Amino acid sequence: MNEASTLAGHSAIYPGSFDPLTRGHLDVIQRAAAIFDHVLVAVVVNPQKAQPLFTLDEREAMIREAVGGLANVKVDHFRGLLADFVRHREATVIVKGLRVVSDFESEMSTALMNRSLSNVDTVFLPSDARWSFVSSTLVKEVYNLGGDVTEYVPPAVLKVMQSKRPPPRS
């Protein structure tokens, strides 16, 4: 294969609230890093859903530690429209994980809106079956009620969760 026929590289943005990063998120990052030349994990400053449990600094630091071994993965944050951030960073693709069919319903319209705004497409990676039921929201609920979340978050996240608010003992 000569140089002219080499496929152009892709810079992917993987956006999210990551409040906190789960093992499902980490799995998507690892697989995206194996597909794309560069992956930028983009933490939204103010999630739409609710006041985050973790500060922006905590969320970014936990992700940085969790992805430490991946040379082509970087972490940053953004405010406002994802489409503006994608254009600003000259990303060529947005990556989203899909766990269940209901994810697809909302992610499809979001992907179309983002493409309309930025001309950048979204690539969906199916979540690994092991993590298809794991969400940040459920992890926080289990943790706040004293449950063990060791299985669902990377060690870097568990460490911060335990130091921040030790779960009540039953």
Single-letter residue type at 56: L
Stretch that binds ligand PNS, among 30-38, 57-65, 106-114, 159-167 (CB under 6 A): 106-114
Torsion, CA 101, CA 103, CA 111, CA 126, rounded to 10 = -70
Residue identified by tokens 């810079």 is 11
* SS3 category, 3: helix
**For 49, what's the count of Cα atoms within 13 Å in the CB-facing half-sphere?**
9
Q: Indicate the residue among 15 and 154 with the shorter CB distance to ligand PNS.
A: 15
Candidate list 59, 99, 118, 140, residue with the active-site label: 99
Concerning whether 99 is annotated as a catalytic residue, the answer is yes
Distances (CA, A) of 121 to 105, 138, 155: 16, 29, 32
Concerning whether 31 is annotated as a catalytic residue, the answer is no
**Measured from the CB of residue 97, what is the shortest distance to ligand PNS in angstroms?**
9
Concerning whether 49 is annotated as a catalytic residue, the answer is yes
- What's the rounded Cα separation, in Å, for the pair 113 and 92? 16
Concerning whether 115 is annotated as a catalytic residue, the answer is no
Stretch that binds ligand PNS, among 13-21, 58-66, 126-134, 153-161 (CB under 6 A): 13-21
* Of 129, 13, 155, 156, nearest in space to 73 by CA: 13
- What's the rounded Cα separation, in Å, for the pair 46 and 55? 10
Residues 39-98 that bind ligand PNS (CB under 6 A): 44, 47-49, 81-83
Contact with ligand PNS (CB under 6 A) among 53, 56, 61, 113 = 113
Q: Which residue is nearest to ligand PNS (CB)?
A: 16
**Measured from the CB of residue 16, what is the shortest distance to ligand PNS in angstroms?**
3
Residues of this chain that bind ligand PNS (CB under 6 A): 15-17, 44, 47-49, 81-83, 110, 113-114
Catalytic residues: 25, 49, 99, 136
